A and B are shown apart, each in its own frame.
Chain A
Amino acid sequence: ETGVTQSPTHLIKTRGQQVTLRCSSQSGHNTVSWYQQALGQGPQFIFQYYREEENGRGNFPPRFSGLQFPNYSSELNVNALELDDSALYLCASSRQREGFYEQYFGPGTRLTVT
């Protein structure tokens, strides 16, 4: 069984630039959630995708957007990067099924904005 993978591992961008992060979900999973984790904090929910549509969104501005593809992989796009966007970005996959709510995380992408 293949776990959740993310790319790239690390990324350095300049304020105002745009970035795309990628995630491949675990085999058999059809839902992808994205989280932002600042240093010393717990992960914060950005949004979730199911059947290629946004299925819920946290308290993040519209410059955070995403996509899910037919193979259930996903992208997170962030426009107009700000210094505060520096964080570990985590992707989690799960099966959308009543009574089964575990989310399995990838290794994360460390984004540094200078």
Chain B
Amino acid sequence: EDQVTQSPEALRLQEGESSSLNCSYTVSGLRGLFWYRQDPGKGPEFLFTLYSAGEEKEKERLKATLTKKESFLHITAPKPEDSATYLCAVLNSGYALNFGKGTSLLVTP
């Protein structure tokens, strides 16, 4: 059975303090690993798709990387507007995204 575990559950950073969020997974036949950002009471906003180990993608202060067992979302010099819940999901040979519980990030000025 596919499993996605995100850590830490919550993270508090000072503005400018870089850090990484972790997503470890077990899946048979990975077709993609996805990162989403979710603001309170809103739908998830698509950030990245990673397809194979070694792949990296960047967007503004965010960089996502993928190995055979985990993915990292690196946040460089975060700003308060980066505060949100970050969700990781995997897609196997089926149709459904299998999500972790998310990491709640708070960036303080």
Q: Is the CB of A43 within 8 A of B42?
A: no
CB-defined interface of B80-109 with A at 8 Å, one 1/0 digit per residue?
000000010101001111111110000000
Chain B residue, CB-CB nearest to A46: B96
B46 touches which of A56, A58, A102, A110 (Cβ 8 Å): A102
- B55 CB to closest chain A CB, in angstroms? 14
| A42 CA / B4 CA spacing, docked (Å) | 10
- A3 CB to closest chain B CB, in angstroms? 10
Q: Is the CB of A90 within 8 A of B97?
A: no
Q: Is the CB of A103 within 8 A of B94?
A: no
Known: A105-B43, A105-B44. A45 touches B31 (CB 8 A): no
Q: Which residues of B contact A106 (CB under 8 A)?
A: 43
Tell me, yes or no, whether A27 is within 8 Å of chain B by CB: no
- The DSSP consensus for interface residues of chain B is strand
| A108 CA / B44 CA spacing, docked (Å) | 9
Q: Which residues of A contact B34 (CB under 8 A)?
A: 102-103
- B33 CB to closest chain A CB, in angstroms? 10
Tell me, yes or no, whether B17 is within 8 Å of chain A by CB: no
- A12 CB to closest chain B CB, in angstroms? 15
Q: Is the CB of B42 within 8 A of A42?
A: no
Q: Is the CB of A104 within 8 A of B94?
A: no
Q: Is the CB of B89 within 8 A of A42?
A: yes
Tell me, yes or no, whether B49 is within 8 Å of chain A by CB: yes
| A103 CA / B4 CA spacing, docked (Å) | 18
| A34 CA / B102 CA spacing, docked (Å) | 19
Q: Which residues of A contact B96 (CB under 8 A)?
A: 33, 45, 48, 56, 58
A-B interface, 6 closest residue pairs, ranked by CB to CB distance from nearest: A42-B99, A45-B96, A56-B95, A105-B43, A48-B95, A105-B44
Using a CB–CB cutoff of 8 Å, the interface residues on chain A facing chain B are 4, 6, 33, 35, 40-45, 48, 55-56, 58, 88, 90, 92, 101-108, 110
Using a CB–CB cutoff of 8 Å, the interface residues on chain B facing chain A are 4, 31-32, 34, 36, 41-46, 49, 87, 89, 91, 94-102
